[in-house]
A and B are shown apart, each in its own frame.
Chain A
Amino acid sequence: MSTILLIFHGLAAVFLIGAITHQAASLLRSAAPPTQRGFVQRFTAVRPVGYAAAILVLYLVTLLLGALIYPSYALGPRAMIRAEWPGAFAAFEVKEHFAALGLALLPVYWKLWRPPVPSETISARRSVTLLLALIVWTAFLVGHVLNNLGGLK
């Protein structure tokens, strides 16, 4: 059962990282003339407002699935990883706390992205979105590495 939940956790995280990377990149883009549009410009040329609800739901689903499989990790590979890879163990602890703190950001994230989106809140919107993207990327990479080291079986 843990393996199935872990797969869904990973799939939700993939959708989440894709959505929030698109949204965050769109906030960082510089206006390029149409003639210079390459992959990066096309990647960032999305309507970021349209991603907010999906990101909110995906964050909650990913966190919930992670919380459900966390006990299997605590009873399973946690002790071995702590002994053999203390750096990875510490990184995972950080990831779990970051994920929890990301939950704290969701109400203000939703408030800033709920239409109509005023242009005067762009600075706050950019900061909150980039911080949430940092949390998602950290959690994704650490989770991936830890699973490769000897995660849930």
Chain B
Amino acid sequence: MTRRSSGLFAPAFALVYGVLYAAKQPVFLYYPLHRVLALERLPETSGPGMLWYGWLTAGLVAGTATVLLVPARWTTRVPAAVSWLTVLAAMLLIAAGELHGLFA
């Protein structure tokens, strides 16, 4: 059985989540007013569309796929610092984005 390493889960998750956030690119949207999922934005009569679930799902899929597809021997030398630094970078990017939106 192939050994799996979780070392690249956080970087893959944070990278995909951060890029999707920066691009404001929906993976799918959830419209709670009618409880429907949509792959693209619906008219305003559908109520507010929520991007967060799509980005969360995309991050999970990216992280899981990386763990499953990249052999552990390739990731054993990846220091744990890569995990928390990529997550911290995504957090700073998002905080800056929201602050920019606040003062724009």
Contact = CB atoms under 8 A, between A and B. Distances in A.
What range describes how many residues of A lie at the interface?
20 to 34
Contacts of A74: 32, 48, 50
A128 B83 contact: yes
Contacts of B101: 90
B95 interface: yes
Nearest to A91: B98
Main SS of the interface on chain A?
Answer: helix
Given A75-B47, A127-B81, A104 B95 contact: no
B92 to A, nearest CB: 11
A30 B59 CA distance: 37
Interface string B1-31: 0000011011001100100010000000010
Chain B interface size, as a band, is 35 or more
Interface string B38-63: 00000000011010110110011001
A15 B91 CA distance: 24
Contacts of B59: 100-101, 103-104
Interface string A106-143: 01101110000000010010011001000100000000
Contacts of B32: 71-72, 74-75
A78 B49 CA distance: 12
Interface of B: 6-7, 9-10, 13-14, 17, 21, 30, 32-33, 47-48, 50, 52-53, 55-56, 59-60, 63, 67, 79-81, 83-84, 87-88, 90-91, 94-95, 98-99, 101-102
Q: Which 9 A-B pairs have the closest CB atoms?
A: A71-B32, A124-B80, A104-B13, A107-B6, A108-B83, A104-B10, A90-B98, A97-B94, A107-B9
Given A100-B55, A101-B59, A108-B10, 9 more contacts: A71-B32, A75-B32, A94-B95, A100-B17, A101-B90, A103-B60, A111-B80, A112-B80, A124-B79
